[in-house]
Structure 1
Amino acid sequence: MDRPERLRAEARSWLAEQLSTTFAHARGLGGPGREHEGHDVRLAWERHLGRAGWTCLSWPEAYGGRAATLAEQIAFHEEYARADAPARVGHIGEGLIGPTILDFGTPEQKARFLPGIRRGEELWCQGYSEPEAGSDLANVRTRAELVAGEWVVTGQKVWTSLAHVADWCFVLCRTEPGSTRHRGLSYLLVPMRAPGVEVRPIVQLTGTSEFNEVFFDGARTPADHILGAPGDGWRIAMATLGHERGAATLGQQIGFQRELDRVVATAVRTGAAQDPVLRDRIAQSWLELRVMRLNGLRDPGLPFTKLYWSEWHRRLGELAQAVQGRAGLVAEDGELNELQRLYLFSRADTIYAGSSEIQRTIIAERALGLPR
């Protein structure tokens, strides 16, 4: 048995045992549109994963990881999804800021921040988007000034996922007065519990509030809580985004298959499966999901990966509504069912983490070499 399959077998056995005993009540909790579910239970699970050595698999062993290869990471994420394990609460720390600190952090920063991420003891959020700087991230206006050994941060961030439960935020802000666009930006690590930080939830179509506005009104963080040099923030911010597409997307596709199975079962129950148009749409979804997996196995970081899965998932949400018929238009007792929630939340898939329009521009310019 090769290394990926050994790790797969180990993960499958461990997850089966834990999710049928101590954490049986955590199975299936959370996920897009459902991040409000069982946060305390999922946080306990995150720390349990850390103690058992199942977080940060790709990190070097010197920092508590397993130096897992891409194939080993894929094996774990697939088994994690198949086990219907709860949605992770530490994924932003493990998948985004952790690797960025490994790449750019000082020895002192690595010692301060990486253990808390690996153990699931400190949660992170991403302070990038602003009301005037969404897809055009270089238009960031949040500013920071170095005063008496501390960065003083003032400004607003928006669409900040899980800010309401985060301990820390990595903030892209302008530290050079008068600078514009990509110049004069810095990458700061700011405590979310500090005075001057206010989090306001944004209520979504699903009625939940995974996204937030974050206001910094003179919030302070130590001078050494900056990754890289002042003014080097854009380069580091782009490096962080480079870590966003990874092996976890293969596990995500297991969840997609589960959703598609639920759509098919509903179509059979409601009789919608007798409609040849809907049958064709179901078959098309099944085929496209297989293509998604093959492309993911080839390279989960391909530039069109996010564009492909987000457009596919939004179409699946529309199909989920269609197979329910009229019943899908009514929330019984005011509660959304799983397919209604899928439809509503998937509308955001083609917007967050880079809109489809931006993704197409990136593919055109960087992958195909077309003129700007």
Structure 2
Amino acid sequence: MKELTKQIKEKSFHKVYLLTGDEPYLVLQAKHMLKNAMIKEGDTMNYAAFTDGKIDLNTLQELAFTYPFFSEKRLLLLDGTGILKTGKDEFVSIMENMPETTCIIVCEPEVDKRSKVYKWIKKNGYVGEFLKKNQTEKVLLRWIAALLGKEKKQIRENNARYFLQKTGDDMFQIKNEIDKLIAYAGDREEITQADIDAVASGEVQDKIFDLVDAIARKNKAAALSYYNDLILLKEPPMHILFLIVRQYRILHIIANMRGLRKPEDAIAKTAGIPRFAIRKNEQQLRGYGEKMLEKCIEECIQIEEEIKTGRINDQIGVESLLCRLML
């Protein structure tokens, strides 16, 4: 983002930009930044977007070779078209020969870095790779503070960490919840934990975590209470079962990989959770041994099979599972 901001400030643009990676929020922000810097709002004469997989290379070439009309740039956006796989030599030829006044932005979540198209863009254009693994807890905490700071709001670090535990590391989710917190706080400057509890919508995952925690403590009343809360939140029983299994698998992965002394980045990637969530899950592990975790996963799989084969109703099945897990 710093490099793109610098290019925009200096009006020093490349002919081709490839925006990629598994952090879609940052890809979207980068795309909008570049578009707004090159093309005036509402300028349909000098802007065209391709968003489906069947892109006509002849049409693309015609547009790419057309000079802009009362504008410094003509911008073509290729968003999720798969052209890096399908375009190959023809697309490279278009990029090589189009005038300097044309700019192409390619947005693809995944790319083959061995391909001729990727290597050409890497050498002659600009590749922006936006990855979740780079959005560490520290980075996200700074971002949260910056979002709030723009609205003259502030938050204590411990409350910001608490907020992240509820929202997770999805940047779209974080931004939406921050906007809600700003509106909820009104004229107050500080965002408190009470504000987060009142507004942040991490309810379902929190309830699942608490439910699994209650199972570890053999607290049947608490487990059924959390389950009933999820039903009131209109969560389908099969989705609740899926989330329970997911939580057990996360715990199992953390336990195994910790035993093998794997680094936290590898654990987070394998478990499919942000790195900063490892600590919270490790606290829950204290109530579970490896054999108990394996037994819980096996019980879940068995109930899922019984539900899918029609031997038991989904709601009754999940409720009986909770009881069996606490025997």
Between Structure 1 and Structure 2, the one with more helix by share is 2
Compute the TM-score of the two structures, normalised by the length of structure 1.
Answer: 0.21
Compute the TM-score of the two structures, normalised by the length of structure 2.
Answer: 0.23
Structure with larger Rg: 2
